[in-house]
Structure 1
């Protein structure tokens, strides 16, 4: 029997494992400390963004702007000094809490070259900056990229991950926030630079972009050279992409967070059926790492659905590859 790590990496590389792996259950997850650090006086992060906690995690506060104009980023952002971080300590804590039979995933970022400027300016001013001040925005994007690449050097030297996760939500439930041309011109070169560095340190590159990704999928696995696409919204376009790319399109996700199995009061039958639908649609031949999306909530109803869902993943996720 394969370990969780061995099984997971077969799927992550586009293969057909013994059983459907599950994120984050089969993973050891590392994230650098600086993402959680807040200024003790202002409560802001290093980008001067203030956060509010809710059931979905942390969201930027809407009553606070980190800066007024995109050109203010040089005076506003206080990039941590990577060489002065306690990498030995972080690595030691990671080893102490890790299961050697699970896959090691380093989370480089959940907010990146797209969302950091948006979080700092707000959605309206942030999106307007793309059109109104592209040169200034690109200078900021390039600086964030350089910071991430420096962090990746240390992650490679101290953590030795199997997979590096990075993320930016370029899409909503209705589609990408940007045109394909803008995405290619402003973001693809820097996303590719990050992924090239991930590959250089010997890891697979996983990119998180929840929402209705549409054209983004072909960009992610094409010019951006992403190995694993995390949590694109299940829909007919994603099914078409899966049929087109086959095992080249490795997905973390697959479960419909807006489907019958996710609705308040969903029956046990509906929840278990939703697991079969996800695996049969996106992972029947492998190349799927199952994830519910991590936003199902904390109520008793949600807890019960999670029990049914994970139980069915463990059952059907093993049966499906033995047929």
Structure 2
């Protein structure tokens, strides 16, 4: 049993990722040139199934938020041309977010890589908060300054720092991120990406400890 007021969060791959899983990334890229309607048909099938899934899932009172995990980019750009994402995949994200919101739930996006070419599209879709930050792409504090008045910001303590730093450097880094991201609210402390099993437990706990020490409003 969950404590009173607590709700569940789920995280499932999005329409883009499931389309890639079904077709393969390289074949999908060829198909965008040779048979784009096949890519669209697969994406539409995935989108329709996901829409029914989220409609049923969000009907449960225990659900509080849904995180769509769709890695739309790599380190320097989007996985395919922004125009392709806008034409085939982002409309489905919009419909799914609308469905989640229609049940009074929170819609979150986890997406690795470079989002900048489609950032305004993602904000317009209506996500409540974004996750997955890497310093070599865009530090979380920079994202918060640019977009924090329009969308929530989740995490941002770089996984490389958590994995390779000392406990002292993790504390110093986390304290700086808190200092820069805390003003104005709309940000939750956490790792920039998945807490991998190669991250020393002491480093992860140091991040949390700094949050308890400095993150209270």
TM range (shorter): 0.7 to 0.9
Question: Which among 154, 172, 176 is matched to residue 277 of structure 1?
Answer: 176
Question: Which among 306, 311, 320 is matched to residue 204 of structure 2?
Answer: 306
Q: 1:317 to 1:131 in 2, by over 3 A?
A: farther
Q: 1:240 to 1:302 in 2, by over 3 A?
A: closer
Residue 134 of structure 2 aligns with which residue?
A: 233
Q: 1:240 to 1:274 in 2, by over 3 A?
A: closer
SS state at 1:166 partner: strand
**Unaligned regions of 5+ residues in structure 1, if any?**
1-95
Q: Which has the higher contact order (CA 8 A, sep 6+)?
A: 1
Q: Deviations over 1:226-263 (max 9, x none)?
A: 111121334447655433333312111121223xx335
TM-score if structure 1 supplies the norm length?
Answer: 0.60
Residue 196 of structure 2 aligns with which residue?
A: 297
Query: What is the alpha-carbon root mean square deviation over aligned residues?
Result: 2.3
For 2:107 and 2:54, how far apart are their aligned partners in 1?
12
Aligned residues, how many? Answer: 216
For 1:317 and 1:248, how far apart are their aligned partners in 2?
21
Please tell me whether Structure 1 or Structure 2 has the larger radius of gyration of its CA atoms: 1
Would the aligned equivalents of 1:239 and 1:281 in 2 still touch at CA under 8 Å?
yes
SS state at 1:157 partner: coil
TM-score if structure 2 supplies the norm length?
Answer: 0.87
For 1:291 and 1:144, how far apart are their aligned partners in 2?
30
Question: Which among 4, 8, 32 is matched to residue 104 of structure 1?
Answer: 8
TM superposition shift of 1:129: 2.3
**Unaligned regions of 5+ residues in structure 2, if any?**
none
